[in-house]
């Protein structure tokens, strides 16, 4: 789906640090008109694009182009990665020479995700540059809770120094592209089994009530086989993945203008009971649903 990042006109993009310890597992497949850049600072992160899963370790610089539908499906418990996005207008102004033509495309010129692993000195330089852009950024807890840009809510990215941010994003974009061109594009994708692809499709369509048995049947596999190969290829169990999708749908339903009650949103998201929802929510967010939603509604 096409995601609207809701960036105000005064911003040429945004940047934030995604932290497993703070950031809820928002995993809906999406793309956006902005070019996205990731730098893995710690741990590992995994994306699914098309029929393949890509896992990226520390020091990986990776690019997600506007036409590339992508889905964050797993990350290590200690994972941290910077996400920066650049509006097409910034790219058009910044990339006038032939050396930067690759940034103007709608799709990468490689089969999969364009990425490279940075040498340590280069990694430190890029990370320091990103750190500097975070000085006047919104609170990290808020940024992580809102997936950086305000997923399914009234939150809007608000940097206290728009001019400094825009200048920094211009510099960061060109710096990282030079680093990419100086490095080596890497492979490492895992082709997903047809039953795993079918399970991802069914779970993303919003039927959170499908049991493992029903899901396996519709995927043409046994429960044991689907469970095993899904975990192997996606990196998380079917149950964990399904609960992450349910939590995302719960927040989407609850945050709608014609707001449902918590209980209504729980059942609409596919949870079998409030007790099950409360247990899963607390495990993922580290706080009770009501306390999280109280903080969520603060301006």
Each residue's pLDDT tens digit, 4-31: 899 999 999 999 999 987 766 556 789 9
Pairing mode, if any, of strands 71-75 and 190-191? unpaired
185 and 34 Cβ atoms separated by less than 8 Å = no
**Measured between alpha carbons, how far is 88 from 76 in angstroms, rounded to an integer?**
32
Q: 42 lies in which domain range?
A: 13-182
Please compute the mean of the pLDDT values over residues 232-247 and round it to a whole number.
Answer: 86
Q: Are residues 37 and 131 in the same domain?
A: yes
Q: What is the pLDDT of residues 52-99, one digit of tens each?
A: 999 999 999 999 999 999 999 888 889 999 999 999 999 999 999 999
Question: Whose CA is closest to 168, among 58, 60, 70, 37?
Answer: 37
Q: Are residues 173 and 102 both part of a single domain?
A: yes
Q: What total number of domains does the chain contain?
A: 2
Domain CATH code at residue 279:
1.10.10.60
Closest CA to 44 of 9, 14, 72, 13: 72
**Integer Cα distance of 26 and 24 in angstroms:** 6
Q: Burial level of 33, CB count in 10 A (0-12/13-18/19+)?
A: middle
| pLDDT, tens digit (0-9, with 9 covering 90-100), for 96-148 | 999 999 999 998 888 889 999 999 999 999 999 999 999 999 888 888 888 88
**Is 89 domain-assigned?**
yes
Nearest to 157 by CA among 5, 271, 270: 5
Give the pair of three-digit tokens for residue 129: 């540059």
- Same-domain check for residues 61 and 148: yes
The answer to whether position 6 is within a domain reads no
User: Between residues 185 and 169, which one has the greater pLDDT?
Assistant: 169
Domain final residue pick, 150, 182, 214: 182
In angstroms, how far is the first alpha carbon of the chain from the final one? 28
Contacts for 288 with CB less than 8 Å, ≥ 6 apart: 278, 281, 282
* Cα–Cα distance, 226 to 58 (Å, whole number): 30
Co-location of 25 and 153 in the same domain:
yes
Statement to judge: residues 65 and 28 lie in one domain: yes
Cβ(54)–Cβ(188) below 8 Å = yes
- Is the pLDDT at 296 greater than 90? The verdict is no
Q: 2 lies in a domain?
A: no
Return the SS3 of 159.
coil
According to DSSP, residue 118 is labeled P
Question: Do residues 219 and 160 share a domain?
Answer: no
């Amino acid at each position: 789906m096409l995601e609207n990042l809701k960036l105000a006109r005064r911003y040429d993009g945004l940047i934030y640090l995604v932290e497993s310890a703070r950031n809820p597992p928002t995993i809906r497949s999406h793309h956006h008109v902005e070019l996205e850049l990731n730098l893995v600072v710690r741990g590992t992160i995994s994306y699914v694009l098309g029929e393949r899963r890509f896992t990226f370790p520390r020091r990986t610089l990776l690019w997600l182009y506007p036409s590339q539908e992508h889905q964050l499906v797993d990350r290590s418990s200690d994972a941290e990665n910077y996400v920066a996005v650049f509006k097409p207008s910034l790219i058009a102004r910044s990339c006038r020479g032939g050396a930067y033509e690759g940034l103007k495309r709608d799709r990468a010129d490689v089969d999969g995700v364009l990425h490279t692993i940075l040498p340590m000195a280069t990694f430190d330089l890029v990370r320091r540059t990103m750190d500097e852009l975070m000085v006047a950024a919104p609170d990290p807890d808020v940024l992580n809770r809102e997936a950086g840009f305000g997923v399914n809510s009234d939150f809007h990215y608000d940097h206290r120094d728009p001019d400094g941010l825009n200048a920094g994003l211009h510099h960061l974009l060109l710096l990282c592209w030079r680093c990419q061109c100086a490095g080596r594009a890497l492979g490492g994708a895992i082709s997903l089994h047809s039953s795993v692809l079918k399970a991802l499709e069914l779970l993303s369509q919003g039927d959170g009530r499908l049991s493992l048995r029903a899901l396996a049947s519709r995927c043409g596999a046994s429960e044991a086989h689907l469970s095993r190969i899904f975990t192997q290829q996606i990196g998380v169990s079917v149950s964990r993945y399904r609960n992450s999708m349910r939590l995302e749908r719960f927040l989407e339903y609850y945050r709608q203008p014609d707001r449902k009650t918590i209980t209504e949103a729980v059942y609409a998201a596919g949870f079998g009971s409030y007790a099950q929802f409360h247990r899963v929510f607390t495990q993922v967010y580290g706080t009770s649903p009501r306390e999280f939603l109280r903080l969520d509604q603060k301006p």
